[in-house]
Structure formats: C-alpha cells, structure tokens
Chain A
C-alpha cells in the first residue's frame, strides 16, 4: 500500500502507540483486500463498546491507556446492559463492573454516549455519499443501503481503530464500482395487501440475506412509500442471515432509483424470487417455540423508534401486561427522552411494559431472569435467540406481540401470507 508521509510517521510511532497499533491493523486489512492506499472518513460508529468477552475489554482499556482518542465524530452502539436502570434490569455485579469499565474506556477516547444500534434514526447521521466507518451489521446495511453513505462491514475492534486514525483502507464498498447489484430478487405474488403488514419486512430481509450471501442484492416489488422502520427490520434481518453490507430496493433506495441504475448497466448474475410460500416457510424456520406460552415478549431489535412507540402506546391503550409475562422494549436514550416528555413512557409503564435503554434483548442478564420462551417481532432477534440466550422463540407482528403480552399465551392473527 502507498502510504503518505503522515501515515509513515504514525507507523514510526511519532504520535504514540494507540495510533501506531490502530493504523497497523488497518493497513493489514487494506493489504488483504488490495487497497492502494488509505482514505479519510468523516465519522465512525463503534460496535466494540458492548462488553461481551474479556478480549474486547482488554483491547479498549489498552487503547485508552495508550492515549487513543477518536479523530472523527464517533457514536457508540449498544452496551451489554441498561447503564442507567441496571437495578431494574437485575444486572449482576461483575457484568455491571465490566460494562462500566467499557463505558469509561470509550468515553475517555472521546466517543459520544449514544448507546444505540439504530444510530441512523437520530444523532450523527451521515449524508448520501459520505465516507464513514461503521460497525454493527444492521447499522452498516442500513447506512449503506437506505442512506447511501459508504462503509465496509467493519468488524468489532477494526471500527475503533478506524475512529482513532480517522482513515480506512480504500477498498470494497467505499468505491462506486463495488456497489452494483449482482443478484436480482423479485417479489412474486406478494400483493400490496400482503406488503401492508409490517411483519413481512423482517421475513423478506431474512430470505434476502440467505439468497444474497455475501453478494449485493437488488430487490424489486417494494412500494416507494415503505416506512423507514420496515426498512430497518428488513435490513437487520438480511444482515443476520447473510454477510449483507449493502442491498438496493428498486425505486426506494438512493442508488436504485431504477433497476439499471443499481446494476450499473450490467446484467444481474442471477435472478431469484420470493413467494408467499417462502415467507411462510421462513417464519416456520425461525419459530422454535414448542408450547403455547411465552414468558418474555421483547421488542426493539433494532432499537425502537419514536414512531414505533406511538403505535405500541395505541395498541396498549386500556390494556395490562399479563402477570406471567415480562414485556420489554429496548430503545436509545434519545428516544427514551422523547417518550418521557410526551407521556408515552408513563402510560406504558402503568400498563406493565418495561422500557430499557442502551441494551439489547440478546444480551440481557440470563441468570437473574429465568425465562424459557421469548416472543419477538424481529427476525434478527429470532435468528440469534437460541445461540445467545438459550430461549425458544416465537415470531409475530407487533400486534401479536402485544396480544401475547396481554393474554399470557402466544396469540396469532390471520396474517395474509399464512393463508394457504
């Protein structure tokens, strides 16, 4: 790789060990992918700030102690816990201590305490075409696809290195020619009626991720009026079932105003279809619950938006969460402030819903809550549920999640793709 004089000084240790290690790691990545040199990024989003294993904590504390400071505006993804309501969240002492140490290390390095996996809904949002370095698979897919900013799928650890250096190797999705669609996926017999139910989008995303694998897909057949929260669910699911860093929704996302545009005037290498039967099958595959009850209903994967809270508040009006069920919503501190201000939080709390910030339904303290079956409205959450929590999982729409929480047994509605 060709390095600038400045970059060579960093490698020589002139600006300290944290910068030297970070740049060395980025250069190794660049060499692998044939980058010719480094390029600047304007902001970073850090996934590594969640305490999950000791290696991540060792890495963060060492970088912070070595004088590592972020060179560009940097937001933080989730924490392992609710850093403010840790008592109600029943956080064990060790997890609390390690999450606090993680918080200290990243704030010392100068990151913004956003603590959200939906950083694209408020805070440091990049503009179209902006070069950024983001971690968190759902956020990467969203920012590339829906906003049209440019990032590679930066893994944990690489994201903080990029933030400290403010540069990344010039390769992959940072370059226009690598952003063209390779696979075309068409929705077949999926009518407007079916698409009106928001619960379909995570399932479409789940299938799209499986079909695309590590290729860039263009999907055709989604209405231009699709809501941003639906795209959020679709994007998160796709990035969990495939190595999806970028996809195009024809007529919806900025690099796909037309099919030709996102194909960059080439032919797709493969054309595939998603049918109602496949949607039904995807839902069946995600569903691992054997019985008819769920003791945890968890929503907000990715973090619940203000609009989603308004819908939830309406659905919960005049209802109470059943005594056998915990109903949890995960959101960002910013959104929490908004729902507190307008009274939604008070109403939800009174009806028995618990709202947590910073954290993630996949990382809750398992040993202090003894759940057995989780009901969710996120295909990403359903996909990772067993391996991360050991819980069986049921998947449904937001309405079905509310019904289940209120009645204390898994409720299903007659959703259009379930009709045979």
Chain B
C-alpha cells in the first residue's frame, strides 16, 4: 500500500529513491563532504551516512552560505541527493538546485511538507517525489509503517 503526502513545490522536478530522514538541520558546507556525498559533521546524527541519490529529508538548512556551492559541486561529481524534502526551505538551500538547473541542466527537486506529513517519513522508505505537483508518495507505506524498512548504510560511529 502506498501513502501520498501533499506538500508544496520549491524547485520543480520528479524522481524516486530511498528516504534518509533526520530531525536535525543540515549545513552542506561543513556538514557534507563534497567529494563523497557523506555527512561529515561529527555532531550530526547522520554522521558518516551517504546522501547521494537519496531523498534527503531534514527540517531546514542552517549555517554557511557556501551550502549552495557544495550542492552544485555534488551535482557536478554526481553525488547529489536525488531530492530534498524540508519543512521550510531557505534561500541558500534553494540556490544550489536552482543554479544546477540553469548551469548544468540537472534537476534536484525540492519539496516542502508540513510538520505532520514530514513526521511520517522514515529512513529506508521508498519515495516517489513529484515536486512539480507538490506531492510525495511513500511507495512501501504498509511495510515501512510496521518498522520492517531496511536501513542501508547505517551511520558509522563518529571518529571523535
């Protein structure tokens, strides 16, 4: 059974992929390694986990204005998330996907959900994102709900 979540389009586009969700904000600069697409902030709960090709869900961005540049570089080296899902998207975060579209012709759909819908996302779910239509479908809803969703690439222990 699937579950459709209604949201709002931030940057248009469509894709599907595995959900990686966190309740903590992310700064891409100082938070994501632009070479590998892995979270490299040791204070972050996703530390060590890859976000490449994932439907990356976090409440909102934070920190450095270089975030947009890191997103563009992730696109250039094919390590970008497949889509971004937020509760609120701020200008710095939106800039990466916008410039990517105009400069490299590549899309990273960005969608916002309200808090209630956002909470239904669980790491390991399979999501079909239609940012253009403001919709995210959790394809394996019945399975993921009873907690059988697999979590690949589980975070490694911080090195510190």
State the A residues within 8 Å of B (CB): 21, 24-25, 28-29, 32-33, 47-48, 50, 52-56, 58-59, 62, 135-137, 140, 152-159, 172, 209, 213-214, 239-243, 285, 288, 362, 383-384, 386-388, 392
Contact = CB atoms under 8 A, between A and B. Distances in A.
Given A24-B102, A52-B34, 4 more contacts: A155-B68, A155-B93, A240-B64, A384-B29
Contacts of A48: 69
Interface in B91-144: 91-96, 98-99, 101-103
A55 B91 contact: no
Interface size class of B (residues with CB under 8 A): 35 or more
A159 B67 CA distance: 13
Nearest to B66: A156
A156 B160 contact: no
B50 interface: no
Q: Which 8 A-B pairs have the closest CB atoms?
A: A155-B68, A155-B92, A53-B73, A155-B95, A156-B69, A384-B30, A55-B73, A55-B72
B92 A154 contact: yes
A25 B11 CA distance: 12
Given A152-B91, A153-B91, A386-B42, A53 B102 contact: no
B76 interface: yes
A24 B160 CA distance: 44
Interface of B: 10-11, 25, 27, 29-31, 33-34, 40-43, 60-70, 72-73, 75-76, 88-96, 98-99, 101-103, 160
A59 B103 contact: yes
A157 B89 CA distance: 17
Contacts of B76: 53-55, 58
Contacts of B27: 240
7 contacts: A53-B34, A55-B69, A155-B66, A155-B68, A213-B62, A241-B62, A243-B25
Contacts of A137: 63-65
A50 B101 CA distance: 22
Contact of B69 (A24, A33, A56): A56
A329 B88 CA distance: 37
Contacts of B60: 213-214, 243
A59 B99 contact: yes
Contacts of B75: 55
A184 B62 CA distance: 19
A56 B65 contact: no
Contacts of B73: 52-56
Contacts of A388: 30
A48 B64 CA distance: 12
A202 B29 CA distance: 20
Q: Which of B41, B63, B65, B89 has the most CB of A within 10 A?
A: B65
B65 A154 contact: yes
A392 B160 contact: yes
Contacts of B29: 52, 384
A29 B160 contact: no
